[in-house]
Amino acid sequence: MLSITTILAVIALPLRGLYHGTGASMEEGFMLVFPSLVQQGKVPNLDFLHLYGPTSLDTLALWFRLFGDSLGSERTFGLLQHLGVIFGIYAITRAYGYLVATGSAVVATFLILTPIGLTALAWHGALALGLWSVVFAIRARATGNPSNWWLAGGLAGLALGFRPDLAIAIAVAFAWALWRRRSDISVFAAGAAVGLIPMWVHLVRAGPVNAIDGMLIDPVVRLRPGRELPRPPSWGQVDGALQAVAESLPPWWRFPALPASQQLFFWFWAVIIVAIGVAAWSVRHHRRTGSIAGGPSDALAMAALFGLGILPQALQRPDSTHLAWVSVVSWSLAVVVITQVLRRWSPGWRSPVVATAVLSAFMFVVCPFYTYRTYLLHSRVSVGNLPVPFEIVRDGHRFWVGDPAVSSAMAQMMPELEARMKPGDSLFVGPGDLSRTVYADTYVYWLFSELEPGTYFIEMDPGLADAAGSGMAADIATADFVVLTNTWGGWTEPNASVEHGSPEHNQAVADHHCLIGSYETNLVLLFERCDGGGGLNPADLAGRAPGIGGGGIDPDATP
């Protein structure tokens, strides 16, 4: 009981700050918008762009139906996904003792709560389901109960429905678990087929071509040039635009630390080394000790192979978020590995305590800005030591941003749009320069949920929305209202996102819409469809906007 209480206390401390934290304006925005569209019968990859599996949207749509689509409801769902990851790690490591499991779960907490707050992203749900599929597979190996194999397969199928790219991790882990167990393979496969039912339904509704295009070709082929980052990360600069914005005015941290870019450089290599090292040590340890199927070393080996299987996430875009997403499994399991090594010289309770301290100190050197500093920031908000960020509210829907100019601009724009719109009108939201669709303030759709999203590209990505012939220009031409934001006009990354796409999308605004209002020096622009068009190219205004990257500023900077 003390073990669980300790873990829950570590989770609870920053929770108030996390519930009031600045939102990722596109990622959290679409996790608020997409489930509501699913409730209306809209289909991902057919009616709107969605780069991941359908199951997370189906699940969150059901959650919203039961508990409402408030920001708090969405973040509670995200918290439950985080708890699934943390206690999945705890369950896997529990056989090594309460102290080991507690240390592993605490390490997982610092890595899973900090990258993107409580946003209910599909990755976290997939990771939780994948880890619990490992838990039930280990139980199946230990007990021989076929129902556990069925549950393991069902959870693995659901995980793939959340994130199809988890297939490598599932394949590697279950190749270990099911090697030479032909009778169990069929039970596992039957469970997986059931868990994948939302995917089968999606393939029918969206059509195989649309589904494969949206879930495989778009993210793997078309998107990569505009989202990939250097491997390893640059030594002298932060490559990821979102991290660079955050570092322009970072939260309080007075402890000695490497510069942010160097932390990312060393973290990248540490993620690879730890993932490979933990997996190799765990497999060798299991073979050397001759542990029974389903025993502690068997569980460790299977989980470590799962952690190795998610390594491509860190390699394709090594920013702080993806590095944390991959670290959470292998680094938590590293507590077990270090403990087992230490027990050769110091058996007893000291070994897991020292192991947790060693790994915690390692994180303090390698990645403190992206773990402890973020945790401290939200904890300070929780206890009232810092104010909450700036709030945007409309009809019970609220969103938090980190800069007052963004909040002010939205507060000025919203009454103007309300006065002109009618329920059922269509709304298009995008960046100020539509030839560079690098990011978008998607939460605006959610604030105006009575309006119809006027485009397939609710999520904006370089090389997709801004490509010639993407269809976005036609969407713009028919939209009743257009809201363009220049909050991310300063976006710069060492990839194809710096290149301009087709000018046809800006021209569609000029040809079909008139400017109604500009707020906070072109930070937010409101257009309405008009006869003949206004002839104003929004890219001309984008060049004179602040482009501050709103939403990433620390509450320490607020008045």
138-144, long-range: CB within 8 Å, 24+ apart, which pairs?
A: 138/92, 138/177, 138/294, 138/298, 138/299, 138/302, 139/294, 140/177, 140/184, 140/294, 141/177, 141/293, 141/294, 141/298, 142/292, 142/293, 142/294, 142/295, 143/294
Choosing from 349, 379, 409, the residue where a domain stops is: 379
| Total structural domains within the chain | 2
Establish if 3 belongs to a structural domain. no
Establish if 2 belongs to a structural domain. no
Q: Are strands 426-431 and 452-453 parallel, antiparallel or unpaired?
A: parallel
Choosing from 311, 344, 379, the residue where a domain stops is: 379
- Residue 372: name the closest of 99, 123, 551, 113 by CA: 113
Neighbours of 193 (CB within 10 A): 14
- 228 and 130 within one domain: yes
- 482 and 443 within one domain: yes
Q: Across-strand partners of 485?
A: 431, 524
- 448 and 339 within one domain: no
Establish if 456 belongs to a structural domain. yes
Encode pLDDT of 226-243 as tens digits.
Answer: 999 999 999 999 999 988
Give yes or no for a contact between 518 and 373, defined as CB atoms under 8 angstroms apart. Answer: no
Which parts of the chain sit beneath pLDDT 50? 550-559
Choosing from 379, 409, 433, the residue where a domain stops is: 379
Establish if 338 belongs to a structural domain. yes
pLDDT score at 545 = 64
Q: What is the CA radius of gyration of the chain?
A: 24
Encode pLDDT of 290-321 as tens digits.
Answer: 667 768 889 999 999 999 999 999 999 999 99
Establish if 34 belongs to a structural domain. no
Q: How far apart are CA 367 and CA 373, in angstroms?
A: 9
pLDDT score at 557 = 33
- 406 and 523 within one domain: yes
- 472 and 359 within one domain: no
Enclosing domain of residue 411 = 390-557
Establish if 1 belongs to a structural domain. no
Angle at 543 between CA 542 and CA 545, to 5 degrees: 60
pLDDT score at 183 = 82
- 415 and 365 within one domain: no
Establish if 11 belongs to a structural domain. no
- 518 and 467 within one domain: yes
- 261 and 119 within one domain: yes
Give yes or no for a contact between 445 and 478, defined as CB atoms under 8 angstroms apart. Answer: no
- 448 and 345 within one domain: no
Residue type, position 281, single letter: W
- Residue 485: name the closest of 414, 410, 397 by CA: 410
pLDDT score at 302 = 96
pLDDT score at 555 = 33
- 410 and 369 within one domain: no
Establish if 457 belongs to a structural domain. yes
Give yes or no for a contact between 291 and 301, defined as CB atoms under 8 angstroms apart. Answer: no
Q: How far apart are CA 78 and CA 67, in angstroms?
A: 14
- 467 and 370 within one domain: no
Task: Please state the length of the chain.
Answer: 559
Give yes or no for a contact between 436 and 466, defined as CB atoms under 8 angstroms apart. Answer: yes
* Token duo for residue 338: 């270090």
- 510 and 409 within one domain: yes
